[in-house]
């Protein structure tokens, strides 16, 4: 039997929602493959009605109400049973030997595997929706944040089933973070991206369709920073509509640069070049920017889902929620853009914590999958 045949087989299940679910799946796939496992990602696509999702995105308080309404165990049990049951049947049809996977890991709260030899669900957020703990329950939960412990208690989860690993990133962020030993090293990325002549680079980002919120700030940013040497780089992702509109109206503005979808290498480099990030959705951005030494000003976030991220990042001293109307937020940004050194010590500690995850993850998963 060949070496390849002897490797432990791991299926990684994920789905669309926010990009964070996919991002974690890719990160697990990379690291597990690096450590000698045979992995395969199954992206089941969409887990809900995307028209309803898009409608809720336009009404943040409606999204919060929907999030909290669905955060009841009876409803969660119905949702998870429906999604997980269909997925297990689909995988059995596609893979006759699906049950022979040594481990099945899900990075989505609606997907609870139960047909692998050992089954895991990754608890991605510090605020854990009840769907994570609905039936069928996995053999183990992989916990990212210690701050989510109160939900472990709330849902009476057997703590022997909870494996504490920490936040994991895609490989490019580890690779490029090694090049930033001091904050002066950011100049290396600025030169590579041809933006070294700007005094400051501010990355503007969100998740999914949430980048639309940045559109309300374009005029205020343009007016306030018109005589400064600051470049705002907007990561528009796959939001083609926002990207096209922004380029049409502000494409000639020397203070703005709009980027359509970028791969992880490009995103990591832009974070490496950035002095500050302004975000309209936080989640994964909190760790990707953190390992690249970028402080965050939070202009907006996903109501209900992301509030705990703000508490976590502010506690670590690497981010701040900016309150007020558009003018007040832009004025605060203007006053802070040259006052970022106060974040440096906290960012170095945060980066050290983030860099510790892979070794800890390997030790724990090797033990439980073997």
Whether 367 is covered by a domain: the verdict is no
Indicate which CATH number applies to the domain containing 219. 3.40.50.2000
> Pick the residue with more confidence: 301 or 141?
141
DSSP 127-182: S--GGGGPSSP-SEEEES-GGGHHHHHHTT--GGGEEE------HHHHHHHTT-SS
Indicate which CATH number applies to the domain containing 35. 3.40.50
Task: Give the pLDDT band (50/70/90) at residue 52.
Answer: very low
Whether 363 is covered by a domain: the verdict is no
32 in Cβ contact with 10 (< 8 Å): yes
Residues 234 and 286 in one domain: yes
122 in Cβ contact with 140 (< 8 Å): no
Strand bridging mode 38-46 / 162-164: unpaired
Residues 133 and 205 in one domain: no
Residues 144 and 232 in one domain: no
pLDDT at 231 over 70: yes
* Cα–Cα nearest to 163, from 23, 354, 366: 366
Whether 369 is covered by a domain: the verdict is no
pLDDT of 59: 56
Residues 265 and 152 in one domain: no
Residues 150 and 8 in one domain: yes
Contacts with 89 (C-beta within 8 Å, 6 or more apart), sequence order: none
Q: How many CA atoms lie within 13 A of 96 on its CB side?
A: 0
Mean pLDDT estimate for the chain: 88
Give φ, ψ of 314 to 5 degrees. Answer: -70, -35
pLDDT of 3: 41
337-369 pLDDT, tens per residue? 999 999 999 999 999 999 999 999 999 999 999
Whether 368 is covered by a domain: the verdict is no
Residues 192 and 95 in one domain: no
Full residue range of the structural domain in which residue 269 is found: 171-353
Burial of 253 (0-12, 13-18, 19+ CB in 10 A): middle
Looking at 97, 132, 164, the residue that finishes a domain is 164
pLDDT of 281: 87
pLDDT of 62: 54
Whether 113 is covered by a domain: the verdict is yes
In percent, the amount of the chain with pLDDT more than 70 equals 88
Whether 286 is covered by a domain: the verdict is yes
Coil, strand or helix at 273: helix
The pair of three-digit structure tokens given for residue 195, joined into one six-digit string: 């933006």
pLDDT at 60 over 80: no
Average pLDDT of 225-240? 94
Helical spans, DSSP H, in the chain: 3-6, 19-34, 50-58, 60-69, 73-94, 149-154, 171-177, 186-192, 218-224, 240-250, 264-273, 285-291, 307-315, 326-336, 344-355, 357-369
Looking at 149, 164, 179, the residue that finishes a domain is 164
Whether 262 is covered by a domain: the verdict is yes
- β-partners of residue 233 are 203, 257
Residues 85 and 197 in one domain: no
pLDDT of 2: 41
- β-partners of residue 201 are 231
Whether 306 is covered by a domain: the verdict is yes
Burial of 223 (0-12, 13-18, 19+ CB in 10 A): exposed
Residues 158 and 196 in one domain: no
Helix (H) or strand (E) holding 112: none
Residues 349 and 206 in one domain: yes
Residues 282 and 211 in one domain: yes
278 in Cβ contact with 206 (< 8 Å): no
pLDDT at 313 over 60: yes
Residues 154 and 195 in one domain: no
pLDDT at 22 over 70: yes
User: How many angstroms separate the first and last alpha carbons of the chain?
Assistant: 19
323 in Cβ contact with 346 (< 8 Å): no
Average pLDDT of 26-49? 84
Residues 79 and 178 in one domain: no
Whose structure tokens read 């996977």?
A: 101
105-162 pLDDT, tens per residue? 999 988 899 888 999 999 998 988 888 999 999 999 999 999 899 999 999 999 999 9
Looking at 114, 147, 164, the residue that finishes a domain is 164
Euclidean distance between CA atoms 362 and 196, whole angstroms: 38
Euclidean distance between CA atoms 173 and 187, whole angstroms: 17
pLDDT at 55 over 70: no
Structural domain count, the chain: 2
């Amino acid at each position: 039997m060949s070496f390849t045949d002897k490797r432990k087989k791991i299926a990684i299940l994920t789905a669309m929602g926010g990009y964070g679910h996919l991002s974690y799946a890719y990160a697990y796939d990379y690291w597990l493959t690096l450590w000698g496992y045979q992995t395969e990602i199954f992206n089941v696509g969409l887990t809900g009605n995307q028209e309803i999702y898009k409608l809720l995105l336009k009404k943040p308080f409606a999204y919060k109400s929907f999030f909290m309404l669905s955060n009841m165990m009876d409803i969660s049990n119905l949702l998870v049973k429906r999604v997980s049951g269909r997925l297990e049947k689909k995988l059995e049809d596609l893979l006759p030997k699906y049950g022979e996977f040594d481990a099945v890991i899900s990075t989505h709260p609606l997907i609870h595997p139960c047909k692998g030899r050992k089954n895991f669900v990754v608890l991605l957020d510090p605020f854990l929706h009840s769907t994570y703990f609905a039936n069928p329950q996995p053999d183990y939960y992989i916990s990212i944040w210690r701050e989510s412990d109160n939900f472990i208690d709330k849902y009476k989860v057997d703590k022997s089933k909870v494996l504490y690993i920490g936040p994991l990133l895609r490989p490019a962020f580890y690779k490029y973070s090694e090049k930033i030993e001091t904050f002066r090293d950011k100049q290396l990325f600025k030169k590579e991206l041809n933006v070294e002549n700007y005094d400051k680079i501010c990355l503007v980002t969100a998740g999914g369709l949430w980048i639309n919120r940045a559109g309300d700030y374009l005029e205020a940013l343009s007016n306030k920073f018109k005589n400064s040497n600051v470049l705002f780089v907007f990561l528009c992702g796959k939001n083609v509509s926002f990207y096209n509109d922004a380029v049409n109206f502000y494409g000639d503005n020397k203070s703005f640069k709009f980027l359509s979808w970028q791969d992880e290498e490009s995103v990591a480099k832009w974070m490496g070049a950035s002095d500050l990030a302004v975000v309209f959705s936080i989640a994964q951005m909190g760790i990707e920017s953190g390992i690249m030494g970028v402080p965050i000003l939070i202009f907006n976030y996903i109501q209900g889902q992301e509030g705990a991220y703000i508490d976590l990042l502010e506690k670590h001293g690497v981010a701040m929620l900016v309150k007020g109307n558009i003018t007040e937020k832009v004025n605060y940004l203007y006053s802070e853009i040259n006052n970022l050194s106060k974040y440096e010590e906290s960012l170095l500690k945060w980066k050290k914590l983030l860099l510790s995850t892979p070794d800890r993850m390997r030790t724990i998963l090797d033990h439980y999958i073997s």
